[in-house]
């Protein structure tokens, strides 16, 4: 996919995956939880069986239908991951910086997302149907705003869009903490949807920082760093929840984002290639 179309293309995939499928999934899950006994171990257990079944079908689809396209040239196979990774990062300041930004981009998967529904249920008394409605609201945000945001990002630049969207995700966390009623919990879900719009935009930047022949190694290093940071912050989030207070999980995340990610993002170059004037 060409640079000028990458954000909208990735957002189109996100709209279908997290958007349309995300609407039906939460409501089906809410029905299953209610049918099997409510928000408890017995009621939630069937969801994992369903998830394993769907994941298995997805694996079969990837195995049988996904392209085997290779980016690396035969003359440069890249046999040593660590050495090749060091060579790739050498002299590429933007790529080095992005490893930290990418880790911060992924913090919500470990520090925020796992605790959102738990907080809504335990601290705010949300029912199974309200929890499902929150996730549906998140999916609707992706459907409504995803593709238009991708088009705008391909016109004005990815950085500008991220600097607009990131505070909207902060708002989701703050509304969740304050929410005096189920309506505000669903509103928090609406703003949470912007996190899933941020993902493809950062993904577009990520793949534009290195040459195509280095893409596999670059993405592998990024995924490793992101997974380690998310896993570590999940533990930190749990400790904050138990030792300081549930609401501080979300407050501290917003603080980390404001102090670390935003300054780093501001220092990154814009990766959108402007069209040459005719």
Q: What are the 10-residue block averages of pLDDT along the chain, 278 residues in total?
A: 56 61 71 81 86 87 73 53 68 84 87 91 88 86 85 86 94 95 94 90 85 79 86 89 93 93 90 52
Contact 119, 176 (CB under 8 A): yes
**Which CATH number, 1.20.1250.20, 1.10.287.610, 3.40.640.10, 1.10.10.10, labels domain 3-62+83-266?**
1.20.1250.20
How far is Cα 40 from Cα 43, in angstroms, rounded to an integer? 5
Give the count of alpha carbons within 13 A of 268, CB side only: 29
pLDDT of the residue at 17: 61
- Cα dist. 272→92, 160, 176, 203, 275 in Å? 17, 11, 34, 13, 9
Q: Quickly count: other Cβ atoms within 10 Å of residue 183's Cβ.
A: 11
- Cα dist. 60→22, 47, 70, 100, 248 in Å? 21, 20, 20, 33, 41
pLDDT of the residue at 271: 77
pLDDT of the residue at 244: 93
pLDDT of the residue at 183: 94
Handedness of CA 9, 221, 224, 171 (dihedral sign): negative
Q: 184: which 2 tokens?
A: 């505000």
> What is the pTM for the complete model shown?
0.75
pLDDT of the residue at 258: 93
Give, rounded to a whole angstrom, the gap between the first and last alpha carbons of the chain: 22
Contact 123, 245 (CB under 8 A): no
pLDDT of the residue at 9: 61
């Amino acid at each position: 996919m060409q640079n000028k179309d990458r954000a909208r293309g990735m957002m189109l995939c996100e709209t279908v995956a997290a958007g349309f499928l995300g609407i039906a999934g939460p409501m089906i899950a809410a029905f299953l939880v209610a049918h099997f006994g409510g928000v408890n171990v017995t009621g939630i257990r069937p969801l994992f069986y369903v998830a394993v079944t769907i994941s298995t079908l997805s694996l079969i689809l990837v195995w049988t239908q996904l392209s085997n396209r290779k980016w690396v040239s035969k003359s440069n196979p890249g046999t040593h991951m660590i050495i090749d990774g060091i060579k790739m990062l050498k002299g590429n300041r933007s790529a080095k910086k992005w490893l930290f930004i990418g880790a911060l981009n992924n913090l919500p998967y470990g520090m925020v997302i796992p605790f959102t529904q738990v907080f809504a249920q335990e601290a705010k008394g949300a029912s199974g149907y309200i929890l499902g409605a929150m996730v549906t609201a998140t999916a609707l945000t992706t459907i409504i705003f995803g593709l238009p945001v991708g088009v705008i990002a391909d016109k004005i630049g990815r950085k500008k869009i991220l600097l607009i969207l990131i505070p909207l995700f902060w708002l989701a966390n703050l509304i969740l903490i304050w929410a005096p009623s189920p309506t505000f919990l669903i509103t928090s879900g609406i703003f949470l949807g912007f996190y899933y719009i941020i993902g493809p935009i950062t993904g577009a930047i990520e793949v534009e920082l290195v040459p195509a022949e280095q893409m596999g190694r670059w993405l592998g290093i990024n995924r490793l760093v992101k997974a380690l940071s998310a896993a570590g912050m999940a533990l930190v989030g749990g400790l904050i929840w138990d030792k300081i207070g549930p609401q501080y999980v979300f407050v501290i995340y917003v603080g980390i984002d404001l102090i670390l990610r935003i300054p780093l993002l501001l220092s990154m170059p814009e990766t959108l290639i402007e069209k040459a004037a005719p």
